[in-house]
Structures are given as C-alpha cells and as structure tokens.
Amino acid sequence: MRKASSAAPATFSTSSTSAAQRGGTTAPQDEVRAGGELHQPAGGSHPPLTTNQGLVVADNQNSLKVHPRGPVLLEDFILREKIFHFDHERIPERIVHARGSAAHGHFELTDSLAQFTTASILTKVGHKTPVFTRFSTVAGGSGSADTPRDVRGFAVKFYTQQGNWDLVGNNIPVFFIQDAIKFPDLIHAVKMEPDRGFPQAASAHDTFWDFISLTPEAMHMVMWAMSDRTLPRSLRMMEGFGIHSFRLVNAEGQSTFVKFHWRPELGLQSTLWDEAVKIAGADSDFHRRDLFEAIEAGSFPAWELAVQLFTEEEAEAFPFDHLDPTKLIPEELVALRVIGRMVLDRWPDNFFAETEQVAFCPSHLVPGIDFSNDPLLQGRLFSYLDTQLSRLGSPNFHQLPINAPKCPFANQQRDGHMQMGQPRGRVAYEPSSLAADSPRESPARGFRSTAVDESGLKGRVRPESFADHYSQARQFFASQTGFEQAHIASALVFELSKVEALHVREAIVGHLRHIDTGLAQRVADGLGLAKLPEAAAAAVAAQDMPASPALQIIGKMKDTLAGRCVGILIADGSDPKRVAATRQAVERAGASVKIVAPKVGGARMAGGKLMAADGQLAGTPSVLFDAVAVLLSAEGATLLAKDAAAGDFVRNAFGHLKAIGIDAGGQQLLQALGVAPDAGVIDVGDTKAFIAAAKTRQWTREAALRMLA
C-alpha cells in the first residue's frame, strides 16, 4: 500500500488541492478559485450546493478520510445525509437492481485457503454451503425488460456455519466512480429524467452522458458498458466480480488482499444490440425464463469461484492503485486461482418472499474476511444496510426466512417494527450477571478487524494514485477483437445519437481521444461531427498497458452448445425423420430444442402424423434461439414465403449471425426471401457441421449486413 505521506498534500483545504488529487475531474467545480470563491462557468450562475440544513458544501466529490488512502470517517455527516436520503427515495422497490431473478443452490470448496483465512467456507474442502444468488439489471424498474444494455448485478448470499456472508458484485469488474459520495449522482443521472419520466432502463439520454462527460474516472467503465458484456445471452453465461479488494485474515492475524471472480461453466455469450431490442419485444422476461427453464430441466447453472491473491508489497508494484474501484487487476498480472464451484438447483417457492425480500449487504462478513479501504466499498457498507429500512420497513429484516442465518444467532437487540422473534427473560443487555444463558462476546471465535496502522491528515481528498482515468480504458479497448471493437464504437454512436446536447457529444469524443484516436474518429464520423473535438484535459497522461485477452468475450467463448437453445421451424409436410435427426444431434450436444410451427397446435408431417409445437411462429421469433433449422416441404416453403413472420424468422437469424440448418424446403424458402447462403447456412444432413456452426456466431457475416462504426 502506498504510504500516506507520499500522497497527502500539505493541506487538505479545498482551495489548495489539485485536480489530480481530487480525482482529476474536469467539471466546472474544479475551475480556478480566488479568495475562496468559486468562479462560475460562463452561461449561467449556479446557486451553492448545500445540505438539507442549508450548510454550503465545499467538496461534493470526496468522502472524509483519515488520510488520502485511508478509511472513511463516520463523522462525515455530509456523506451520511446524502446517502441516507438517497437510500430512502423509493418505497418499496429497490432504487437500483430492482429487476432481478434468483435461485437457491450450494457452494462447494475444492481448494482450501487455510493459509490465508480462518473463514470456514474457504477452508473446509468438500463442505457444501447453501447459497441464494440474485442477478439483476441496474437502471430499470422491477417491471422493465430483461435485456437492455445495462450492468448486471451478481449477488451471492452464503449461509455459512459462521454466519451469513454476502458477496455483492456485478458482471463487470470495475465501476463508474471512485468514491461512494458520487453514487447518488450517478444513479440520478442514469435513471429516468425527473421532468419527463423516461427513458426507462436506458443510458442513452442526456443526463447520463452529461454526468459521464464531467466524470473522466468513469471512462474505463464506459468501455465495458458499451461492450457486449452488458448484453448477456443468459444469466447463466456471464461472469461475476466482487469488484473491490477485500482482505483474507489468517489465524496469526496476517492479511492478504483478495479479489473474487465467478466464471460460468457454460462460458461467456452475449447477444447483438439489435437482437437484444427484439428479444425485449418478444419476451421481456427472457433471462428470467431462461434461468427458470434451465433449473426445471435439470441443467443446473454453475460457476467456478476464483480468487486473485496478492500482498501489500505486490500491490505497491502495480502500475495502478488496487483500492481504486475503476481499476482491475489483469489476470496476466495476478493469476486466478480456482477454489470452488457454485451450482444453482432450486427455483424460489415464492418470488416475493425470497427474490424480492432478500437483503444483500457487503457488511455481512464472517471471521477471516475483512474490508479494504476502497472508498466505494466503505460507502456501500453504510448504504446497503441503511436502505433495508425503507425497502423492507423494519430493522428486523434479518429475521425474514430468506435473510436469516442457518447457524445459531443471538444478541440483545429487542423490539422494533415487525419483531418476529420472542426474546425471553429480563436481560436485554451485555454484560450481565442475572441470566446464565445470556449471549456474550467471544474473543476467541469472534470477528476481528485487521490491525492496520492508519494515520495522516484528515481531509476530503483522493490519492494521486487514483488520477489515471484512461490507461485501463485504453487497455480494455486494445484487448478486444476487431468485431468487439466495432460493437463498442457502434454502441457509443447509438447512445450519443440519443443525446440532444451537442457539447456533451463532443466532450465524450474528446475523452475517447485519450483511449484510442481511431475509436474517437469512428465515433465522431458516426455522429457526423465536422471535426474531431479537442481532447479533454487529463490529470495523468494515459499509458500503454499490455493487451489482456482475458478481457474479451469472443476469445473466451467455449467450444460448446451446452446450455443453448435451437429452434426448428416446421410446417405441414415437413420430413419427420429430418426433424428427429436434427433434434437428436442438438440434444446430444447439450442444447435444448423448441419446435416452431405456423400454428401452436403443431403441423401435420409427411406421412400424416401430427407433430406438436412449442411455439407459434408469429410469437416465437428466431431472436429467442442461438441457432435455427428450417425444415420444410416444397409446399410448406411456398406457403411460408408469403408469411411476414417466417420472413422475419429467417432474416433475423441470418442478420444476427446465427447458424441456419436447412433441407431442400428450407433452401427454397431462403431463396424466396433473398437470403444468400454462406458458410453458416448448412444442410442439416451434415449434422456435425451444423452443430459446429451453431456453437458460435458467424462473425465474418456482420460487415456485409449492417453499418458499424
């Protein structure tokens, strides 16, 4: 860890801290001050920002800390008031992560970390710990669709023998902001604009990008958000990250830093943007239904839990600060160590009682795990606990069955709204001598915070080591395949095209120049800007970091069809033997099959036998499948060539780069629709070739089908 003295300025007065020390922000608030007064930007006069008591706020960017890289102080009443009010803005829906789906399961440790921690869940190999895992979108309300471009929450509650441990993260390893005091601003910016109540579950609007344009620390996260990571094919096919550095503490009191990673056994898979939009129209519950059906079918979703372990001395040598939540540790720098496996095998009995009422709090730890001084994590420790009061209405939320530990628990807390227990006896305090069975502290078994020497000058300031906002964003973009880079550029063009304010669009392109000049030019061209805007001022110049292939999706896709779904389009006269052979090959490869027909009652096959359908053609578009097969008679092809839904089924499958299996009738339909076959259009007689093509997208097809930035 960097020494406090190396980062701390001589004074912490707001007027003397540099932009780099305060996070490198280029917002108007950082303009030169004279005589303690803020020079207002041209074009309007802004009233001073105050607390709810009218106290003028001098610094709205940083929490009060012991020293620049030290813990946040409880006395920070400005932080507490701001987050306290924010936490209670929505009743009873979650303010963020409102749209969620969850399942029960278990975690089994396969590699003991006894050298590093006393946490039994991380030391007892072979022990199965019950878990409840909730996945969610961030921006939309509980009734929004599953598939918008958005970060996904990935929260796991472990019901351990030592108490509940909540590992609350996302499917992206970094975040938009460096300090929790900015979280209300971020969410206010990305949520529906308050004067009009839209857009719902979307970041493509002025207030979000205005905030981003003035918050350069967010640019690394923006690269992730504009990538295909925020368009997952399935909740079962996305990674999860604890985001922050935590500490593991062993029996001798020695601590080791740790970052947690979830890796899906099915591998990574995403949709295309156009596909995600159409899925939302076809099935707004697409991800929830997919998770439910997989569990019902016995194809239980599973993830490996891996850790990155590193010492304080090793952290000192990193070219970034691991306490900065906008930074990640590349796998090539600190390798991942797989230590266990999580399996989800049971759907909740009651969605409200479990999925909605579950309360995750990063402050829920067990002995042997501790916090770091990450300022975003420090704020979350207060916020997540506080928000349960307005959302669940009671300080006794921990007594709800989904939240209650599965190990014994006892304390002297009493009464309160919705008290569901029946504490007995006259003693409700500790220590006491009046009750032999009254719970008492247990120094030998209890939780102990890591002994860390913290000293320095108190002040609202960020360490200089947090000031590099572009190097890892540059690394992320440079690490992507050409196809993924095109998707990022196109996503930026789409999002910024929805922004009405020209100066905001130009400011974002200016930030992009620090990441990649070619990317900035592609986005500028896509927006029709007459010239490339000037680069925004950078607190620290971006550095070139080694490419990290682990940051890709395409390069990490597994060579498997397991967990996917293939749609087979049939009509009257289709060959039942071809359908059966195709189904058998797909299911043998680990995927499921759904039969689609013009009528939900099915189709009468060649030979006269009725084949049942899983979905009607008009209501079961190809966007719901990973690959399709079109198996038709000549008469069926002639009939479907006149049907708009059939045309959309085929054209969208082709346009979304999916493998298409055909027989003679299927080929006839493609010709009638003007779809020129390529290497991804395969005769189902060659089932091996069809299965191989169905495992991935036909990426080389894309450039000929749509304009990408």
> Which domain CATH number covers 571?
3.40.50.880
Cα(645)–Cα(313) distance, rounded to whole angstroms? 62
Distance CA 496, CA 663 (A): 43
* Ordered strands of the 681-683 beta sheet: 615-616, 592-597, 565-569, 627-630, 660-662, 681-683
Q: Do 271 and 231 contact (CB within 8 A), yes or no?
A: yes
Q: Are residues 568 and 546 in the same domain?
A: no
Matching residue, tokens 């860390």 = 452
* Residues 339 and 480 grouped into a single domain: no
Q: Say if residue 250 is in the same domain as residue 298.
A: yes
Q: What is the CATH number of the domain that holds 148?
A: 2.40.180.10
**168 plus 244 within the same structural domain:** yes
Q: How many CB atoms lie within 10 A of CB 71?
A: 17
Q: Is 584 found in the same domain as 671?
A: yes
In a domain, 321, yes or no: yes
Rounded to whole angstroms, the Cα distance separating 617 from 592 reads 18
522 and 567 together in one domain: no
Query: In the chain, how long is the greatest CA-to-CA distance?
Result: 92
**Which of the listed residues 386, 402, 437 is the one where a domain comes to its end?**
386
Find, among 547, 587, 582, 564, the residue nearest to 662 by Cα. 582
Question: For 287, what's the count of Cα atoms within 13 Å in the CB-facing half-sphere?
Answer: 29
pLDDT of residue 32: 35
Tokens of residue 236, six digits:
């079962």
Q: Are residues 294 and 368 in the same domain?
A: yes
Distance CA 113, CA 337 (A): 10
d(CA 241, CA 498): 30
Residue 364 lies in a domain: yes
Asked whether 46 and 90 are in contact (CB, 8 A), the reply is no
Bond prior to 92 in cis (omega within 30° of 0): yes
- Residue 445, beta-bridge partner list: none
Report the pLDDT value the prediction gives residue 91, as an integer from 0 to 100: 61
Handedness of CA 658, 662, 667, 668 (dihedral sign): negative
Count the Cβ atoms, other than its own, within 10 Å of residue 692: 15
Structure tokens at 292: 């439910």
CA 168 to chain centre: 11
**Both tokens assigned to 660:** 């298409």
Predicted TM-score of the model (pTM): 0.90
Q: What is the CATH number of the domain that holds 498?
A: 1.20.1370.20
Q: Is 24 helix (H, G, I), strand (E, B) or coil?
A: coil
Q: What is the DSSP letter of 270?
A: B
Q: What gap in Å lies between CA 103 and CA 156, rounded to an integer?
A: 10
Both 481 and 608 in a single domain? no
Catalytic residues: 97, 170
Say yes or no: 330 and 229 in one domain: yes
State which residues form the domain around 532: 465-554
Q: List, as one string, the DSSP characters of 661-681.
A: EE-HHHHHHHHHTT----TTE
- Please list, residue by residue across 648-677, b when 16 or more beta carbons sit within 10 angstroms of its beta carbon and e when fewer do: bbbbbbbbbbbbbbbbebbbbbbebbebee
Token pair of 249, please? 């503490």
Residue 621, phi-psi category: left (phi > 0), alpha (psi -120 to 50), beta (remainder): beta
Mean pLDDT in consecutive groups of 10 residues from the start of the chain, 709 residues: 39 38 41 39 74 88 94 92 85 89 98 98 97 97 96 98 96 98 97 95 97 98 98 98 98 97 97 97 97 97 98 97 98 98 98 95 96 97 91 92 92 87 88 88 87 92 96 98 98 98 98 98 97 92 96 95 98 98 98 97 96 97 98 97 98 98 98 96 97 97 91
State how far the Cα of 629 lies from the Cα of 658, in Å rounded to an integer: 10
Please name the residue that has the structure tokens 């993924």.
Answer: 484
Rounded Cα gap, residues 300 and 187, in angstroms? 34
Domain assignment present for residue 70? The answer is no
Count of the separate structural domains present in the chain: 3
- Asked, as a colleague might, if the bond just before 148 is cis with ω within 30 of 0, I would say no
Residues in the chain: 709
289 falls within a domain: yes
Give the tokens for residue 186. 């971020």
Among residues 386, 419, 449, which one ends one of the domains? 386
| Residues 543 and 567 both lie in one domain | no
Asked whether residue 471 is domain-assigned, the answer is yes
**Domain closes at, from 554, 581, 597:** 554
Task: Give the three-class secondary structure for 235.
Answer: helix
Residue 633 lies in a domain: yes
CB 268 within 8 A of CB 303: no
Based on the domain organization, do 328 and 304 belong to the same domain?
Answer: yes
Residue 417: the pLDDT is 87
For residue 193, being part of any structural domain is answered with no
Residue 452 included in any domain:
no
Q: Are residues 635 and 570 in the same domain?
A: yes
In terms of DSSP bridges, do strands 592-597 and 615-616 run parallel, antiparallel, or are they unpaired?
parallel
DSSP bridge pairs for 102 = 134
Three-state secondary structure along 580-635?
Answer: HHHHHHHHHCCCEEEEEECCCCCEECCCCCEECCCEEHHHCCHHHCCEEEECCCHH
